[in-house]
Amino acid sequence: MPVFEYTALDGKGKNRSGIIDADSPSDARQKLKNSGFYPTSMKEAPDRLKNADSPGKIKNINFSSFFARVSPAEVSIMTRQLATLVGAGLPLVTALNSLLPQTPNPAFKRTLAQIKDTVVEGSSFAQALSQYPKIFSELYINMVKAGEASGAMEIVLDRLAELSEKQQALRNKIRSALAYPILMLLLGCAVLFVLMAYIVPNITSIFADMNKALPGPTVFLITFSGIIQSYWWAILLFIALIALILKQAVKTTKGKYYKDKIALKFPMVGTLVQKLAIARFGRTLASLVENGVSLIPALEIVRNIVGNILIADLIEEASEDIGKGEGLGNSLSRSNIFPPISIQMIQVGEQSGELEKMLNKVADIYEVEVESTVMGLTSLLEPIMILTMGVLMGFIVISILLPIFEMNQLIK
């Protein structure tokens, strides 16, 4: 459906601008008039997001649309702005319309315009959001649905914004902490490649005319350097092929299971994955329960966002046990994935009737532990990488110097 950019006057004579989707300019003008706006100008907006959803339609490739994705950070900012506008007393449609000029991403701007029009046509806000599952998560949609049912939309939007901001902040801290070690690793690999492919062969070529057996380390270095120099393209192709195979394998159910199992058992990384999943579990479940979603449906939603199949299966079992009358804490305690302290806090929350409060505390504890674990890992990775690079450089230097020392002994 075409999208039109418009300028219009509202009932008080103030200029308004935005975008609206309609079959034709006349339909767009009629939609605006029905909403109490009087259009003064209108033009069709560049539709960067058309795709070939209809059968038999050839998809037009537009590289600008490839990069026009909606990030979680943009959704978080929009939610905070919407919560502020709704909390100030603006109707939902008016608040959505006010957000359109402030949305720089054309993909997100189009989506918000379509959501607004869907709401105007009589659908609920949650129903409108559910048409865009790639942008709005199941958690987001269900919390909005609970807010509409309870009449506390501004509170729900505020909590959603807070939840999104906390998750985004945690994600940014992890990325920033891991950025330096990853950069060091890539630079180290690049330096070693240049040494082995170009510098080492030029230096070791002086040993070619020696009529004496070379030391074992030197022979290994020359052989390995020759392989990299001659077959570097095959090595890179092999690495890319292995990465592609692994990427396809983890898309299967069995592949995801083994990937998540290895991630939980992998030294140091397993602890981080476990704590991150528990923090996400606690924060999300608390937000859903606080906003009126019953425990079993809330667990079904949480199961899909924890990011680990083993933990998701454990949550599914807990949901079944709760349906049989058992407590959440007792059910989770059968596995060693949830630490005892988290189980005890959940059990206390169930007994005191403050489960959501305890779940938030569990999330607070493990979010802090995730940050400290990431800092500990990065502080440990840096000396390990430096030591590894030092050992490799030392081996290269010693392998080059050994024949030189033997030549000096022959001269003497």
- Span 234-248, pLDDT tens digits: 888 999 999 999 888
pLDDT at residue 47, rounded to an integer: 46
Angle (nearest 5°) at CA 232 between 394 and 236: 105
**Percent of the chain predicted with pLDDT > 90:** 3
With a cut of 80, say whether residue 232 has pLDDT above it. yes
pLDDT at residue 209, rounded to an integer: 64
pLDDT at residue 62, rounded to an integer: 42
Instruction: Give residues with Cβ within 8 angstroms of 249, minimum separation 6.
Output: 255
- Helix ranges restricted to H, 23-152: 25-34, 63-67, 72-87, 92-99, 106-120, 125-129, 138-150
- Using DSSP's 3-state secondary structure scheme, residue 17 falls into strand
Q: What is the DSSP string of 364-385?
A: HHHHHHHHHHHHHHHHHHHHHH
Question: Lowest mean pLDDT: which of 265-274, 289-298, 364-373, 403-412?
Answer: 403-412
- Contact between residue 48 and residue 65 where contact means Cβ atoms under 8 Å apart: yes
pLDDT at residue 238, rounded to an integer: 93
Residues 34-40 have a mean pLDDT of 75
pLDDT at residue 240, rounded to an integer: 92
pLDDT in tens, 152-195: 777 778 878 887 887 788 778 778 877 888 888 888 888 888 88
CB burial of residue 200 (10 Å; 0-12, 13-18, 19+): buried
Taken in order of first residue, the domains within the chain and their CATH numbers are 3-52+60-162 (1.20.81.30), 189-412 (1.20.81.30)
- CA 60 – CA 49 distance, rounded (Å): 10
With a cut of 80, say whether residue 87 has pLDDT above it. yes
- CA 349 – CA 334 distance, rounded (Å): 18
pLDDT in tens, 260-309: 888 888 887 888 888 888 888 888 888 888 877 788 888 888 887 777 88
Residues 348-370 have a mean pLDDT of 88
pLDDT in tens, 107-128: 888 888 888 888 888 888 888 8
Residues 389-407 have a mean pLDDT of 83
